[in-house]
Amino acid sequence: MSSVWTGEGPKRRRSSDKFRVTVVIAGLLLLEFYLRPSLMEGRGMPDFLMLALLLIAIRQRPGTAAMTGFVVGFVVDVLTPARFGAGILASVLVGWGASYGRSVFFADNLVVTAAVFFAGTWVRNLLILLLSGTPSGHLLSEALVWAPLQGVTTAAVGVVIVILFRDWLAIRIDR
């Protein structure tokens, strides 16, 4: 009861919310760097790093989401140096766009959240392909087959994570 008058209640809640989100993001990073490589190698595997970016982006303002996208894009580009810069720009644009779009257009709906995960992954993959100078024949198959497949798997994993951790992520789900 004293926390209501001292103002400690909401502050404590915000720090615990940040801790919970950090735990979920850390889990996604572990999945990306430890589980994903041990699974079969495939272009349709879910992208846990992009999912972490999108989960952060839909909770933050566009500028913060763009900076997070920069960090994620830098990590992606360090791991694939042949196209350095493409991942940074693509992740910045996707992070900013997801944050801006979520704050302006999107309702708290599970289907819309899944669509954000799918579109974010697909657009990021498409931008990387375009910015890295992929030949047109390869670009078409990647853009129409492999990028959507990875978008669907990422969205499916994202929906499961949102359902399991909706209270931790502070995402309200309207059905």
Confidence of residue 11 (pLDDT cuts 50, 70, 90): very low
Residue with tokens 């929906």: 159
pTM of the model: 0.82
Neighbours of 55 (CB within 10 A): 25
Specify whether the CB–CB gap between 169 and 59 falls below 8 A. yes
- Between CA 102 and CA 56 the distance in angstroms is 11
Copy the structure tokens of residue 104.
């302006």
All domains in the chain, ordered by first residue: 2-169 (1.10.1760.20)
Confidence of residue 173 (pLDDT cuts 50, 70, 90): low
Copy the structure tokens of residue 32.
């990306």
Q: Which of 52, 44, 1, 46 is nearest to 26 (CA)?
A: 52
**What confidence tens digit (pLDDT) does each residue in 122-150 have?**
999 999 989 988 888 888 888 899 999 99
Confidence of residue 169 (pLDDT cuts 50, 70, 90): confident
**What confidence tens digit (pLDDT) does each residue in 56-80 have?**
998 889 999 999 999 999 998 998 8
Q: Which of 50, 66, 20, 13 is nearest to 153 (CA)?
A: 50
- Phi and psi for 48 in degrees, rounded to 5? -70, -30
Please give the pLDDT value at position 153: 95
Confidence of residue 5 (pLDDT cuts 50, 70, 90): very low
Collect all residues with Cβ–Cβ distance below 8 Å to 43 and sequence separation of at least 6.
Answer: 142, 146, 149, 150
Compute the C-alpha angle 12/57/165, nearest 5°.
Answer: 55
Which ranges constitute the DSSP H helices of 7-146? 8-30, 36-38, 48-57, 62-79, 86-104, 110-131, 136-141
Residue 109, SS3 per DSSP: strand
